[in-house]
Amino acid sequence: MTQGGKKKKRAVNRSIMLAKKIIIKDGGTPQGIGSPSVYHAVIVIFLEFFAWGLLTAPTLVVLHETFPKHTFLMNGLIQGVKGLLSFLSAPLIGALSDVWGRKSFLLLTVFFTCAPIPLMKISPWWYFAVISVSGVFAVTFSVVFAYVADITQEHERSMAYGLVSATFAASLVTSPAIGAYLGRVYGDSLVVVLATAIALLDICFILVAVPESLPEKMRPASWGAPISWEQADPFASLKKVGQDSVVLLICITVFLSYLPEAGQYSSFFLYLRQIMGFSSESVAAFIAVLGILSIIAQTIVLSLLMRSIGNKNTILLGLGFQILQLAWYGFGSEPWMMWAAGAVAAMSSITFPAVSALVSRTADADQQGVVQGMITGIRGLCNGLGPALYGFIFYIFHVELNELPMPESPSGGSVTQYHLQQNSIIPGPPFLFGACSVLLALLVALFIPEHTNLNVRSSSWKKHCGSHGHPHSPQAPGEAKEPLLQDTNV
């Protein structure tokens, strides 16, 4: 991009921000407290995931009590359906929010994401059924990132996205431990009531305090016109995967490495609770430690590695850590092994940020959204396929328990060891399968060149991305920093 083009773009951004401030000052924005800010988005995210984090331990217990014979299979199907529906609906909801505004869709996504919470004690069957269906609207991150893009200039956006993702991580680091403690002292019913109250507080906060970031005067002129269905197509970005050999290698690497990661996130805490005999408090502590170590790995360690060994080698190192972690999970039969493998898992979290950085450095300026969109689309697809695949492999290898291990047991050993000796030679078969998948990803990644020019035809992409015509449209979702864990209830 020429120097003149950059200056013109900055001038347009300044004009847009000034126009927004004038419109907001003149009362063009629906009621809310103050001007739209990143802090509004941060509070919405924190309250939603804090409410779900409180339910980590109760959810694992209710899941086993509801599906005692096929716990892992049903967990995989529930999370798989939710992830697949989220993948299919996210582009459509994003496109609709471009026309109808962000506030209404923040309200919609938070309401439907949190709707299953009170059903946990009312009817567990309805609770899990509603969780599955809620995937259609469980895309709060997509709307929040659009909200942030509306109110920030391009050079501020990365920091704003980082603040949102850090808030998400902080909510999941703290809330499971609080929920486990309250459940042990006062019972799970109080935890469910508290989580419901926090979810209602989030909804009320959106209704009362969150101002619209996309004023009506700033929306497309053809407000009532139908949206572009090409823009709402979740497979639009995936159709361009084969147009460049380097892009194809990167996308295959992402698919093979993130598929087991998505399955692992959906079932691992249940695995710790049921198979390894962890208590609710131990699971909560594991989440907190893993979260803190992952934040350190994705900031300080990632920065040092990128400077010292280069981008591609950082990706290969992250994949190597992931293979070690999954193999350790797969063969581990003692609680201390899970803790050790968790530390390795934190190091493996550097892979995706390194992949995003590689794409950002090697793609032309007008190709960033295209390639990042492909990667995000593949990860979204894995969020649906991974949990179902893990649940199915657990089912094939008969990894189930007839009753929950007793938390009072010092190691959880007697029930667990009996189960492992009777039912399966390998304690965690899906994790071993995941290690093989990541090994293939490592072999593919070896062929990715360190420096290249990605060339993907983007004319049709630009056309449907710009179909609404307003110049402040947010960046492609892939340009946002990914949260520590995906948008899920555990």
pLDDT digits (tens, 9 = 90+) for 399-449: 665 444 444 443 444 344 334 444 456 677 889 999 999 999 999 999 988
Q: What is the CATH number of domain 237-400+427-449?
A: 1.20.1250.20
Q: Over 70: is that where the pLDDT of 39 sits? A: yes
Q: Is 289 exposed, middle or buried (0-12, 13-18, 19+ CB in 10 A)?
A: middle
CB atoms within 10 A of CB 451: 10
**Is a pLDDT exceeding 70 seen at residue 254?**
yes
Going by C-beta distance under 8 Å and a sequence separation of 6 or more, which residues neighbour residue 207?
A: 107
Q: What is the DSSP letter of 299?
A: I
133 vs 176: CA distance, rounded Å: 24
Q: Check pLDDT > 50 for residue 42.
A: yes
Chain centre to alpha carbon of residue 489: 10
Q: Identify whether the C-beta of residue 246 lies closer than 8 Å to the C-beta of residue 448.
A: yes
Alpha-carbon distance of 279 to 175, in angstroms, equals: 16
Identify the residue whose tokens are 């909804």.
203
pLDDT tens, position by position, 356-388: 778 777 766 556 666 766 777 788 888 888 888
Q: Give the whole-number percent of the chain exceeding pLDDT 70.
A: 72
The pair of structure tokens assigned to 148 is 């942030």
pLDDT at 484: 39
> What is the sign of the dihedral through the CA atoms of 242, 244, 249 and 254?
negative
Judge whether 277 and 405 are in contact, CB under 8 Å: yes
Q: Tell me whether domains 31-214 and 237-400+427-449 share a fold.
A: yes
437 is written with which tokens?
């998948």
Domain range summary for the chain, segments of one domain joined by +: 31-214, 237-400+427-449
Residue 130 pLDDT greater than 60, yes or no:
yes
Fold for the domain defined by 31-214: Growth Hormone; Chain: A; (1.20.1250)
For 213, half-sphere exposure in the C-beta direction (CA atoms, 13 angstrom radius) is 27
What pLDDT shows up at residue 145?
81
Q: Is the pLDDT of residue 124 over 60?
A: yes
How many C-beta atoms lie closer than 10 Å to residue 196's C-beta? 19
> Structure tokens of 115?
């709707």
pTM: 0.72
Question: Is the model more confident about 130 or about 410?
Answer: 130
| Helix pair 56-66, 280-296: axis angle to 10 deg | 130
